[in-house]
Structure 1
């Protein structure tokens, strides 16, 4: 663990590692494909994946999905850095609003200026995603942030 943490764009080869890390934290993986990985930011150190975050874009709005940090690296700011990297990339790509669903991380996201919302507030394109329709339970907290 001597190297620095590096952030890079995801690639198709990251799919199995992503599924393993996400499933270990109880996050949905059923709809995750190799094509999604290009929209992920991966945090690594010495070749080991420490965390990741993904984005699904729909015009100028997007769904933040699959933020996960390996349990050995929690509490050191890696999650915040991943969110910041994703927000920066989203802003560069013309995304003006991010939405997410969470169970148990709403205080984390509130600390990053995300605001609770209702499912009815969510743009229709996002409500039609598998995360909103079936993968995330109905009691998941909906949050959003304008960039």
Structure 2
């Protein structure tokens, strides 16, 4: 059975926490408490392999036209199988559904995001991100992550509605 991407459920909190903490311990992802994960479970998409959580990612709304992909990770033994790209596709679909045209990420995996249609940009163009998370990050004054951005083409709502009727 192939790995599927689905919206996270409250039952996923412990597995999400374990996966994210593994990355946080390596200094490549910000830690998230179980309580924070439970509060924000609706923002997460998970990769599910026959009931086992093997990947995750979330969207954080930073403004009316900008969301951030964050907490994107894949369990050991599942990397290199296209699961990360499936998660990004699911998150991009979610951003499109919310009619948010810009999706950004701060990452060490630049080539992965470039393969998924993102472009490197100057992180200073995202003051929303700086004031949301960066103020609490231990790397705040020495950030070594790279900012990437992808724009989504959104049809005007009227055109979208008439297209849906045909």
TM-score (norm. length: structure 2): 0.78
Offset, 1:96: 0.4
**Residue 60 of structure 1 corresponds to which residue in structure 2?**
65
> Aligned-residue CA RMSD in angstroms?
1.7
Offset, 1:35: 1.7
Whole-Å separation in 2 of the counterparts to 1:111 and 1:6:
20
Unaligned runs of 5+ in 2: 153-166
Unaligned runs of 5+ in 1: none
Which secondary structure does the structure 2 equivalent of 1:145 belong to? Answer: strand
* Contact map agreement 1:7 1:43 (CA 8 A) in 2: yes
**Residue 86 of structure 1 corresponds to which residue in structure 2?**
91
TM-score (norm. length: structure 1): 0.87
Whole-Å separation in 2 of the counterparts to 1:55 and 1:92:
12
Could you report, residue by residue, the CA deviation over 1:84-109 in whole angstroms, capped at 9, with x for unpaired residues? 11101111111100111112x01111
Larger Rg: 2
Whole-Å separation in 1 of the counterparts to 2:52 and 2:147:
31
Structure number with the higher helix fraction is: 2
Offset, 1:136: 6.8
Could you report, residue by residue, the CA deviation over 1:26-72 in whole angstroms, capped at 9, with x for unpaired residues? 32124643121111111111210010110011322101101101111
Counterparts of 1:56-135 in structure 2 under 5 Å?
A: 56-57=60-61, 58-103=63-108, 105-122=109-126, 124-130=127-133, 132-135=134-137
* Contact map agreement 1:7 1:44 (CA 8 A) in 2: yes
